[in-house]
Amino acid sequence: MRGLQSIWLVLKKDVVVELRNREVVATMVLFSILLVVIVAFSLSIDETRARLVGSGIVWIVVLFAGTLGLGRVFEREKENGCLTGLLLSPAGPGAIFIAKVLGLFVFMLITEAITIPLAFVFIGMSIPTEGIWILVLALLLGTIAFAFVGTLFAAMFANARLKDVLLPVVVYPVVSPVLIAGVKLTEISMGVGLESDLEGWLRLMAAFSVLFTAVPTWIFGKVMLD
Amino acid sequence: MKSQRPSFFPVAVLAGLGLVAAIIAVYWLAPNRLVQVHPSSMHWNGADFVDIEFEQNETNPIVQVDLLEKSEMYKKNPADRIVTRALPVSPNTPAGKVQFNGLSDKGHAASPGVYTIHLKTAQGPSDLKAKNKAVETVMGYSSKIFYFHVGSAMVFLICFIGCALLSVAYLLLRRNKAYRMMAINADYIAYAMAEIGVVFSFVVLITGPIWAKPNWGVFWTWEPRLLLTLLTSFLFIGYLVLRNYAGSDDSGRRMSAGVAVIGLPAAYFIHMAVELWGGNHPKVLTGGGLHGSDISTTFSIAVSAIFLYASYLISLRVRTHRLQDAVEELFLDLSELEDRQ
């Protein structure tokens, strides 16, 4: 019960700060839209090509916008040794970690909810109504896995020089299964991929999300505390 | 002082001799032509056309040849197999022959690799096997790189798994006073294993394309094992970069250990994802491709030499890191002394 309360308090703090200055979500949304435009230009997109590469664009946006968000997760905590203070508080490292993950998860979901429909409109992709739940499920699972893995590394690299370079180098290989499965699921939801593979990809995505909520939470305490 | 330091000279000599023996064995002993015995498959190397020949059954003639991609993956359930190309056969000809032009049924270029051939009669699948010349002419001298390629890949994987397990041990034991030294030793070995693992992953990633160009027709293809090697070596490189910048104090050790610990389940998932994604890597070891005593002798000599050499390099790196840390500590002591004077 106490754990839940601490999670809620840290999460509330992050959300309130975000509501006051709207730094993270605004930059993420702007960046995502720019990314869609740039990718659409560089692939000289048309309707047939949109069907083939559209699902990839969706996940590039999720991944890159997420990375942008990752850089900010512990940015405010760096000043005045705030991170150390948080970790020393009676909340415990697990609660802090989960609160931070949830914060990133919420910001990423808001970004996705704004950007992905826009991307569909811009690129001219279409999705059948019965495919929407697959897309939403894939995005939810993918985002939660990305948030857990990413937040762990963001915390570890918070004080490293070269943080901005190191973070993608380590995070992208780890989340690449999510990216592959996500792209395939999105293809299936748009009616492009093989319907028979749906269960396999969903199972992979779910297994990844479950394991990578548990392992980072365990490691966080081991790595961050002296 | 000298007696405390273990000497690696004998190991170095042994590893050097082993490597020389391996090179000699690969040159003289290993066959110049590797025949892959795979009766119902063909190895398409990206050429424009391949002829597929088979005996025609007179009572129950074959009317169709199915070429199945991703043959390994769909082995379990034949009903799930993806037909890359269904080639019709005229049932009247006494000897059957069809031509495969490297396009899938949808018109995309098929990726080079192993395809399973299925012969079909009007009633259903046939017991007959296709005989294909392509199977026997693929692997010439280029097959010899396999002896170093596979050995390096094994070292790379073992280093990766070892690094992750030792990092888990470090994270679990480091706060326990009794096991503190043991934990630090485990971390030294993990660090060295990561370094040597990266070196051998480069060997794998360089020898692989050299082999793939003559055999698959391309240097690089988006294929499961290639992707797995590439992505895991990125993880390793991340580990090393972090280690270099964070330094070898306790926090640096903890962070890089965290990367290694996450890396192991991640590598497993990468493996699963890319397997599901599709693949045609030659499965020489697990697919029963090691025929003939010459091949297996050469293979065991080469693999033992590479293992010996890798363990020598690892122990060398462990000693180097220890000495580095010792020198750093001595510098600290020295500056403390100077401060006092």
The CA distance from B269 to the nearest CA of chain A, in Å, is 6
Between CA B102 and CA B108 the distance in angstroms is 9
Query: What's residue B22's pLDDT?
Result: 86
The CA distance from A71 to the nearest CA of chain B, in Å, is 16
Contact A204 B254 (CB under 8 A): no
- Portion of chain A with pLDDT greater than 70, in percent: 99
Could you give the angle at the alpha carbon of A215 between the alpha carbons of A211 and A220, nearest 5°? 150
Contact A196 B80 (CB under 8 A): yes
For the record, the structure tokens of B38 come out as 């795979």
Contact B255 A181 (CB under 8 A): no
Q: Which residues contact B16 (CB under 8 A, 6 or more apart)?
A: B309
Could you give the angle at the alpha carbon of B93 between the alpha carbons of B91 and B97, nearest 5°? 90
DSSP labels, A121-151: HHHT----GGGHHHHHHHHHHHHHHHHHHHH
The CA distance from B265 to the nearest CA of chain A, in Å, is 8
Q: Is B42 exposed, middle or buried (0-12, 13-18, 19+ CB in 10 A)?
A: buried
Residue of A nearest to B81 (CA): A196
Q: pLDDT at residue A139 above 80?
A: yes
Q: Which residues of B touch A174 (CB under 8 A)?
A: 235, 262-263, 266
Q: Does A214 touch chain B (CB under 8 A)?
A: no
pTM of the predicted model as reported, rounded to 2 decimal places: 0.76
B275-316: pLDDT as tens digits: 776 544 554 444 445 556 677 788 888 899 999 999 999 999
Between CA B213 and CA B201 the distance in angstroms is 19
Interface of A with B in 131-150 (CB under 8 A): 149
Report which DSSP code applies to B69: S
Would you place residue A77 in the very low, low, confident or very high pLDDT band (cuts 50, 70, 90)? confident
Give chain B's residues under pLDDT 50: 1-3, 37-39, 70-78, 80, 133-138, 279-280, 283-288
State the average pLDDT over residues A120-147. 89
Q: Which helix (H) or strand (E) holds B304?
A: helix B293-340
Contact A215 B254 (CB under 8 A): no
Query: What's residue B110's pLDDT?
Result: 66
Between CA A50 and CA A52 the distance in angstroms is 5
Query: What's residue B53's pLDDT?
Result: 73
Q: Does A30 touch chain B (CB under 8 A)?
A: no
Q: Does B273 touch chain A (CB under 8 A)?
A: yes
- Portion of chain B with pLDDT greater than 70, in percent: 68
Between CA A14 and CA A19 the distance in angstroms is 9
Question: Is residue B104 a contact partner of residue B85, using CB atoms and an 8 Å limit?
Answer: yes
B39-74: pLDDT as tens digits: 456 666 666 667 777 777 777 777 777 777 644 444
Between CA B192 and CA B259 the distance in angstroms is 15
Nearest Cβ partner for A204 among B251, B254, B276: B276
DSSP labels, A68-124: HHHHHHTHHHHGGGHHHHHHHSTT-HHHHHHHHHHHHHHHHHHHHHHHHHHHHHHHT
Average model confidence (pLDDT) across chain A:
87
> For residue B83, how many other CB atoms are within 10 A of its CB?
13
> For residue B2, how many other CB atoms are within 10 A of its CB?
5
Q: Does B16 touch chain A (CB under 8 A)?
A: no
Q: pLDDT at residue A197 above 60?
A: yes
Q: Most B CBs within 10 Å: which of A222, A224, A225, A226, as the mutation test of the B interface?
A: A222
Nearest Cβ partner for B262 among A166, A184, A216: A216
Model ipTM over 0.90: no
Q: Which residues of A touch B249 (CB under 8 A)?
A: none
- Portion of chain B with pLDDT greater than 90, in percent: 18
Residue type present at position B65: V
φ, ψ at B55 (rounded to 5°): -75, 140
Contact B259 A196 (CB under 8 A): no
